[in-house]
A and B are shown apart, each in its own frame.
Chain A
Amino acid sequence: MTLSDTAVRTRGLRLLNMATALPIAYAGTLILLVCAYVFRPALLSPLLLLLIIRQAAPLGLAVIGQSLCMRILSIDLSFGGVAIGVSYILTSGYVPGSEAVLIGCALLFGAAVGLANAFFIVRLRASSVIVTLAMGLLLTGVVIAFSQFRAPGDAPALLKYIGQSRVSGVPLAPLLWLALLIPVAWFLRRSVLGHYIDAIGANPRAAHATGIPYGAIVVIVHVASSLFAVFSAFLLVGFVGMGSLDIGRDLALNSLAAVILGGVTFGSGRGGVLGPAVAAFMLTFLFNLLTSFGLGEPSKLMLQGAIIAVAAIAYSARTKT
């Protein structure tokens, strides 16, 4: 075997490694687009694609929060509770004041939920899955119990405008998504906090031992995550135009699926910010494709579950070897 032979082979191996290290979402999106091209070409029209991207925007925003949590070995499953709470604050008419006050209240509410989650996770060292699931249960229960006294009303005009209007043909919602995505990506790469997050994900004990403020970062990340859930709920409420008790029901599960598909798993931010964003689009596109094939809720749930399980197994198996 000559030297050039091995060089070629290692280069080939490296390329193969790089290809398999890419988030599943990229290949998945490609396969779905080809599928759509063959079976449902109508879905690929620019108009429909833009609509699907618009539809993916709320999930995309929630996914940013979820990916932050998973980078530091935590998780946030309280999105559904946050979304329903935000919907109630904005539309029930119970909270007095102008639209700005309502939106401010919703943001405060999100920050409070994030702080409460973080308190249980950092101070009491409870498992984040159980804490955030319980928090979701708590919020959903309280909101539904309260809304029995008062049906939800209209959404604030500003959110309806953001949810439904277009700027030179492009819907506003995805632009908002992009406007939050780019600073987050830049921030994670350039800021001290971003490096701390990477360090904690790589080895929490080592990070703690080197003096990185571990607890404080978990608090910041959980507050940020809940705030992204609030933004996501803003878009959802804006789309519908009025309050609903159904809002954000599968936000937590879908965001978990998207983050894992996007190459971010517990402690690894390998997929960056783009991977999960592509995965959010991929999932939304997939659900549209399924609907066009006439498949309903049950198959959607089965696919969601299978996707999370298979992606999680694939990543765990890959990081083990």
Chain B
Amino acid sequence: MTGRVRSKTSRSGIRFITIALPVAMFVILSFTASSFFTAQNLANVGNQVTALLIVSLGQLIVAIGGGVDLSVGSMLSLTSAIIVTYDPAIVIPLAILAGCVLGVVNGTGVAVFGVHPLVMTLATGTFVQGLTLLVSPVPGGVVAPAIEALAHGRPFGIQPSLLWCAVAILLCWLLLARSAFGLRLYALGANARNASLNGVTVVGPIIACYVMCSLAAVAAGIFLTARVSTGDPTIGAAFGLDSITAIALGGVQLSGGVGSVPGVILGVVTLGLATNGMNLLGVSPFLRMAATGLLLLGAVSLQRRKTIGV
């Protein structure tokens, strides 16, 4: 039977370690850091994790299609810069428009011209970072109350971060697990040539992936800016690699075709707990950056690919 050829990794990519890692971290933290279980800290974790989760879900969509998007961090920063710079009435449509343009450029470069996704998105990410600094050179500015309410209001008494997470998870899950688009995307990511020979169009869906990923970064940017109530042109700098680390920890194969929403949630929780734990234990922010690098190296080492190189 050929059904068990890929038995080592299912399409969800979730393995024992994907689940064990966040659980172990949770247990360790609750013993070592006394302030971990306070309501304040748990709310903090929730807030810190929300933006990362939204970006990582976008990254998941691109990764299933066989690509990767390093420009999400810059897009998040640009959103923040736009919100504090222009007329509050147009900032959200403007940010969404910018996200669409960036996604189309990324997707076209990758799907039409065949540029490697990492090179393409590194380039556009650098461009967008420059643009962001042009729009708003220094941190600061005021966020309009209507936008602030998006991350501070409590409809039905629910934490706003939970609401954002729930909507993002639901949308992404519907798209990947319950739509024809999602099915085609898994096929494309697993083997673009086979999918194309079986009648799946290639260019359109890939461009759509990058657009959705950029829009996820815009959404995360709106949430984050509304929450901290001020703009920062470098607020997203770490999100590119962080989101890749999170999805890799969640069992998503960066070569495409394998990954799931529950896996990404587990990966984001792992990274969020690791960051929060180091925070509570008083580790320097720069060593935390180094630790993220180490986690990323560990996570990609778990996924043996067939090819050597980029």
Residues of chain A touching chain B, judged by Cβ–Cβ distance below 8 Å, are: 72-75, 120-122, 124-131, 133-142, 144-145, 148, 204, 214-215, 218, 253, 256, 260, 266, 297-309, 312-313, 316-317, 320
Contacts and interface: CB of A to CB of B under 8 A. Distances in A.
Given A129-B118, A298-B131, 20 more contacts: A73-B308, A73-B310, A121-B309, A125-B305, A125-B306, A128-B309, A130-B296, A133-B241, A137-B289, A138-B290, A138-B293, A141-B289, A141-B291, A141-B292, A253-B126, A301-B127, A304-B130, A305-B127, A312-B115, A316-B115
Contacts of A137: 241, 289-290, 292-293, 296
Contacts of B109: 309, 312-313
From A131, A148, A308, name the one whose CB has the most chain B CB atoms within 10 angstroms: A308
Interface of B: 105, 109, 113-116, 118-120, 122-134, 137, 241, 244, 248, 254, 284, 286-294, 296-297, 300-301, 303-310
| Chain B interface main SS type | helix
| Chain A interface main SS type | helix
A74 B308 CA distance: 8
A73 B241 contact: no
A260 B123 CA distance: 12
Nearest to A302: B130
A140 B289 CA distance: 8
B119 A312 contact: yes
A216 to B, nearest CB: 12
A126 B303 contact: yes
B284 to A, nearest CB: 5
Contact of A312 (B123, B132, B306): B123
B129 A301 contact: yes
Given A75-B310, A130-B296, A302-B134, A141 B241 contact: no
Contacts of B115: 309, 312-313, 316
Nearest to A301: B130
Contacts of A253: 122, 126
A132 B173 CA distance: 32
Contacts of B303: 126
Contacts of B134: 298-299, 302
Contacts of B300: 120, 124, 126-127, 130-131, 134
Nearest to B294: A138
Given A125-B308, A138-B293, A306 B127 contact: yes
B133 A301 contact: yes
21 contacts: A121-B308, A125-B304, A125-B305, A127-B305, A133-B241, A134-B296, A134-B300, A137-B241, A137-B289, A137-B296, A138-B294, A140-B289, A142-B286, A144-B289, A214-B308, A215-B308, A256-B122, A266-B116, A297-B130, A302-B130, A308-B119
B130 A298 contact: yes
Given A125-B308, A204-B307, A148 B284 contact: yes
B297 A120 contact: yes
B124 to A, nearest CB: 6
A144 B293 CA distance: 14
A128 to B, nearest CB: 5
Contacts of A148: 284, 286
A165 B290 CA distance: 37
A253 B291 CA distance: 23
B310 A127 contact: yes
Nearest to B132: A298
A134 B297 contact: yes
A316 B114 CA distance: 6
- In order of increasing CB-CB distance, the 6 nearest A-B pairs are A305-B127, A301-B130, A141-B290, A138-B293, A302-B130, A305-B126
Given A120-B297, A130-B296, A135-B293, A299 B130 contact: yes
Contacts of A297: 130, 133
Contacts of B105: 309
Contact of A300 (B118, B119, B130, B307): B130
Contacts of A72: 309
A304 B124 CA distance: 9
B188 to A, nearest CB: 19
Nearest to A147: B286
Nearest to A144: B286
A298 B306 contact: no
A124 B123 contact: no
Contacts of B304: 124-125
A142 B293 CA distance: 10
B304 to A, nearest CB: 5
